[in-house]
């Protein structure tokens, strides 16, 4: 077991079979080059790399937590991350060509003489995929929404207002239609 500081795995030096890596990824991982719509993410990813002679299986087990906002009312919500992803990395003679024509998102090709594998983008992608894209407050045991009712009321008022503002335009158009 090792804890790499970089996201490059020198797989060429690994023994055949499974090697495990642990990654603790906090706020600094989600920097300016990777803007996200969640906060305070503390993700831990366990990577099991199963090395064979002409391919590797990478299993990413994502855990941890993140803070998101309800899409209806903006309430802060804590979500737990919990998901698995598997990538097969195949060593071939023509990886560029193979990657271009490959339509299986779970397979990636590298050159046979490659020695390192950069997994940063996968870590980022899989953590993002572990976070719900449309989080909502949900309902309490009585079936009532747990959303912030004041905010919902305000949004409702905002919508009504917009509709009222649109009315003169429609009336104006009706006038033309009558002529
Ligand atoms: Zn809500």
pLDDT by residue for the chain (179 residues), tens digit each? 443 457 899 999 999 999 999 999 988 888 756 667 788 899 999 999 999 999 999 999 999 999 999 999 999 999 999 999 999 999 999 999 999 999 999 999 999 999 999 999 999 999 999 998 899 999 999 999 999 999 999 988 887 777 766 665 555 555 555 55
Half-sphere exposure in the Cβ direction for 145 (13 Å, CA): 14
Looking up tokens 């490959």 gives: 102
CA dist 65 and 82 (Å) reads 9
Q: What residues does 83 pair with on adjacent strands?
A: 62
Q: How far is the CA of 154 from the centre of ligand 1 (A)?
A: 13
Q: How far is the CA of 73 from the centre of ligand 1 (A)?
A: 4
Q: How far is the CA of 81 from the centre of ligand 1 (A)?
A: 19
């Amino acid at each position: 077991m090792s804890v790499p500081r970089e996201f490059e795995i020198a797989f060429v030096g690994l023994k055949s079979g499974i090697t495990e890596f642990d990654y603790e990824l906090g706020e600094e991982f989600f920097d300016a080059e990777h803007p996200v719509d969640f906060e305070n993410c503390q993700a831990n990813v366990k990577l099991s790399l199963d090395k064979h002679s002409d391919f590797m299986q990478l299993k990413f087990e994502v855990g941890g937590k993140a803070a998101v906002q309800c899409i209806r009312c903006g309430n802060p919500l804590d979500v737990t991350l919990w998901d698995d992803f598997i990538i097969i990395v195949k060593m071939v003679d023509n990886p560029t060509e193979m990657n271009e024509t490959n339509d299986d998102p779970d397979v990636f090709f590298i050159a046979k003489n490659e020695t390192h594998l950069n997994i940063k983008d996968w870590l980022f992608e899989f953590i993002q995929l572990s976070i719900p894209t449309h989080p909502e407050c949900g309902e309490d045991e009585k079936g009532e929404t747990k959303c912030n009712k004041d905010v919902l009321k305000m949004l409702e008022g905002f919508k009504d207002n917009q509709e009222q503002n649109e009315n003169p335009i429609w009336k104006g158009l009706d006038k033309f239609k009558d002529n």
